[in-house]
C-alpha cells in the first residue's frame, strides 16, 4: 500500500514480473508546487474499485488528486482431472490478480 498523507502521488511506475506473475511498483509522493495558495485537505477513499479478474478505470472525483492506494493480491490455483474412455486429461489453472482501493485528497485554492 502507498499513503502520501497530505501530499500527493507525483509519479507511478510499475514493471511486470513474469516469475511470480505480479507487478513491482515505485511511487513518488510530493507537494503541489507552483501555487502557494493551494491547500490539500482530507478527501475520500474509493473502496474496492474492482474485483479479482475484472478490468477497471478509476479517476478521483472533481477537485481531488490521488494520494494513496492499496491492493489485495489473490492466488487461486486448482487442478481438475477428467477421465474419458481409456484416457485421462488434466487441466491446471493458475489465476493471480489484484483488486485496488484508492485515496484521493481535496485540492482547494
Q: For the sheet containing 64-84, what is the strand order? A: 2-3, 64-84, 87-108, 39-48
Please report the pLDDT score of residue 90 as a whole number: 45
> Nearest Cα to 103, choosing from 68, 65, 72, 71?
68
Q: Which residues are within 8 A (CB) of 62 and not within 5 positions of it... i.e. 6 or more apart?
A: none
Q: Which residues are within 8 A (CB) of 87 and not within 5 positions of it... i.e. 6 or more apart?
A: none
CB 41 within 8 A of CB 104: no
* pTM for the whole structure: 0.73
Measured CA distances, 13 to 1, 8, 20, 30, 100 (Å): 14, 15, 18, 15, 16
Please report the pLDDT score of residue 77 as a whole number: 56
Give start and end residues of each alpha helix (H) in the chain: none
Instruction: Give the Cα separation of 38 and 41 in Å (integer).
Output: 10
Instruction: Give the Cα separation of 34 and 16 in Å (integer).
Output: 34
Please report the pLDDT score of residue 21 as a whole number: 67
Tens of pLDDT along the chain (109 residues) come to: 899 988 999 999 988 877 766 778 899 999 887 666 788 899 999 999 998 778 889 999 999 999 999 988 877 655 555 555 444 444 445 567 788 999 999 998 8
Amino acid at each position: 500500500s502507498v499513503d502520501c498523507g497530505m501530499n500527493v502521488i507525483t509519479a507511478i511506475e510499475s514493471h511486470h514480473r513474469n516469475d511470480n506473475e505480479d507487478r513491482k511498483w515505485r511511487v513518488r509522493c510530493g507537494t503541489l508546487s507552483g501555487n502557494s495558495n493551494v491547500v490539500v485537505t482530507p478527501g475520500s477513499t474509493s473502496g474496492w474499485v474492482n474485483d479479482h479478474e475484472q478490468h477497471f478505470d478509476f479517476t478521483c472525483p472533481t477537485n481531488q488528486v490521488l494520494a494513496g492506494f492499496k491492493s489485495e493480491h489473490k492466488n487461486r490455483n486448482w487442478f481438475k482431472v477428467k477421465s474419458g474412455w481409456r484416457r485421462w486429461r488434466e487441466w491446471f489453472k493458475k489465476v493471480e490478480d489484484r483488486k485496488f482501493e484508492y485515496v484521493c485528497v481535496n485540492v482547494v485554492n
